[in-house]
Amino acid sequence: MHDVNLGDILAGLEKSDSNTTRFSENWSQGRSAFGGLSAAFAVTAMRKKLAQPQTIRSLMVSFIAPVTPGEVNVEAIVLRQGRNVTQCSANVISEGQIALQAMAAFGNSREAFKPAAAVDKELPSRESGMYFSDNAKRLPPFLQYFDGCWIDGGIPFSGNYKPFLSMWVRHKQDVSRFPIEKLIAIADIPPPVLLSHFEKPPVPASSLSWSLEFVEAPENLTGEWFYLEFEVEAAADGYTQQSGRIYDEFGRLVALTRQCMVYFG
């Protein structure tokens, strides 16, 4: 099974007349596929439905059931085709049941009022962080396909709770053929920040819903590294909400994200 490269998995889906592809447990976290991979499946299938290429503007995802390793099928439809915006939805099917539902808005660029651009953020050096490989025993299998380092904040199972985290991340392989899916996968790398409270795994935790807004068109991004800042906004009754900002390696804000997660512990 050729799944070392995210691009290989997505290319299989893109070429498939039946909208199917396969992935192995190497791309898993717990019982399910890495959420960024599952969401990428939905987006690839929705892109195939577009009458012409359009950039993605927003994505909303509900994680319903585990997307288990093996074959997955994606059902996608166009909900509305407007003059500038196309609304689509997709169901990711795993073991015969809907495991993920997604909706996305794709839109053309057009002339419009634009406030003064924000100043690019000054980003910390990657040399100041702790690389993923230095903490490999505690990392889920899918992170083997990414390079990255923790810069500050809540490292899972450190027993030192901090309500924020920051990190650098990039894909190890070239996935430039899939710029939207490339950014989606990066955006879902951070774990529940709340896990830094706990000292030992496992503490089961998973996403319930996820929204992602694209400030810049992913296909216009040229760098490989991304800088992520996430923070806990609330946590109670076994549910936590966290939000994040994603920057390219030049300090430009490229996406905003928010997740509702469940945890047991």
Q: Write down the pTM of the prediction.
A: 0.92
Instruction: Please report which confidence band the pLDDT of residue 202 belongs to, taking 50, 70 and 90 as the band edges.
Output: low
pLDDT digits (tens, 9 = 90+) for 225-260: 999 999 999 988 888 899 999 999 999 999 999 999
The least confident of 12-21, 106-115, 118-127, 161-170 is 106-115
Nearest-angstrom CA–CA distance, 19 and 94: 12
User: How many helices and strands in the chain, by DSSP H and E?
Assistant: 3, 14
Sequence-ordered strand ranges (E) for 28-163: 28-29, 32-33, 55-63, 70-81, 85-94, 97-107, 130-131, 146-153
What pLDDT is attached to residue 30?
A: 80
Predicted local distance difference test score (pLDDT) of residue 26: 93
**CATH H-level, domain 6-109+123-263: superfamily:** Acyl-CoA thioesterase, double hotdog domain (2.40.160.210)
Distance from C-alpha of 126 to C-alpha of 123, rounded to nearest angstrom: 9
Residues 31-38: what's their mean pLDDT?
Answer: 93
pLDDT digits 0-9 by tens, 125-170: 998 888 887 765 567 889 899 999 999 987 777 777 888 999 999 9
Domain assignments of the chain as residue spans, ordered by start: 6-109+123-263
Bridge partner residues of 263 (DSSP): 205
Give mean pLDDT, residues 63-78. 96
- Rounded distance, CA 56 to CA 219, Å? 10
pLDDT at 159: 75
